[in-house]
Amino acid sequence: MRRSWVVWASAGAFIALATAVHLGLLDRFDLIARAWARPGDVWGAAQLRADIVVEGLRPIMVAALLAVFTAACCAQRRSLRPAAFVGGVGLATVASTVAVKIIMGRPDPHGLLGTHGGSFPSGHVITVTVGVGLVVLLARPHAGRWALIIAVLAGGFMGICLLLQAAHWLTDLLGGSLLAVLVLSVATASRWRYRLPQRTRNDNQFTKSTVRRSSSFAPVVAVRNDSKAR
């Protein structure tokens, strides 16, 4: 998979979707999806279960968990590069999301505007997708396409929960996924992830070499113990 192709494809798809949403070309599609996901605007068992996910993985919680994981990586690898990588991607994600929300100024399905702009794109979906993608990249800097796949699956699960609650239009969720994929594809295409130190691999090599040395000295120690016993 050519990462540059993913960057341009996700950027083009996001721009096309944002244009269609701004012109109202997909309003009927959004209304149909909302009526199917939450008919009659009833808050039932499905919405209660979805609310557990939405509240448990709201942006502030995802950011806190990502910060803890990044701090652990920095401590384990004795480097601040993971923090710099996550911080750079995080700032780019927040800046781009808030900017698009303000420009679009789209009300949510209940006709409300958030404090950080409109409903398009979904900040919940973007945060979960980018957060999971960064965790995968920190754990496996060479994950490549798998970082995107796992991140999109996690963001899609959040999107389903938001759709069940009628907290966002369906196109808001699609826009959030596309913007998150764009951010992650740029991050994976950059050389920053290859510069992340991987102390785990070195520690494994050190452990293997130590075990080999100890096993090679074991017969000598056994012979010495036998001679002393005699």
Are 228 and 120 in contact, with CB atoms under 8 Å apart? no
Token digits for 22?
């701004």
Write out the chain's pLDDT in tens, 230 residues.
Answer: 466 788 999 999 999 999 999 999 999 999 999 999 999 889 999 999 999 999 999 999 999 999 999 999 999 989 999 999 999 999 999 999 999 999 999 999 999 887 778 999 999 999 999 999 999 999 988 877 888 999 999 999 999 999 999 999 999 999 999 999 999 999 887 766 555 555 544 444 444 544 454 444 444 444 444 544 44
Return d(Cα 35, Cα 225) in angstroms, integer: 81
Q: Is the pTM of this model over 0.75?
A: yes
Q: What distance, in Å, lies between the first and last C-alpha atoms of the chain?
A: 67
| Backbone region of residue 32 per phi and psi (left: phi > 0; alpha: psi in -120 to 50; beta: other values) | alpha
CA dihedral 168, 112, 18, 155 (to 10 degrees): -30
- Domain ranges within the chain, ordered by starting residue: 3-209
What is the number of other CB atoms lying within 10 angstroms of the CB of residue 217?
A: 10
Return d(Cα 13, Cα 19) in angstroms, integer: 10
Are 157 and 53 in contact, with CB atoms under 8 Å apart? yes
The residues, ordered by sequence, that sit 6+ positions from 41 with a Cβ below 8 Å of its Cβ are 166
H or E element, residue 77: helix 59-77
Degrees, nearest 5: CA angle 163-164-166: 60
Q: What is the DSSP letter of 162?
A: H
State residue 3's pLDDT score. Answer: 64
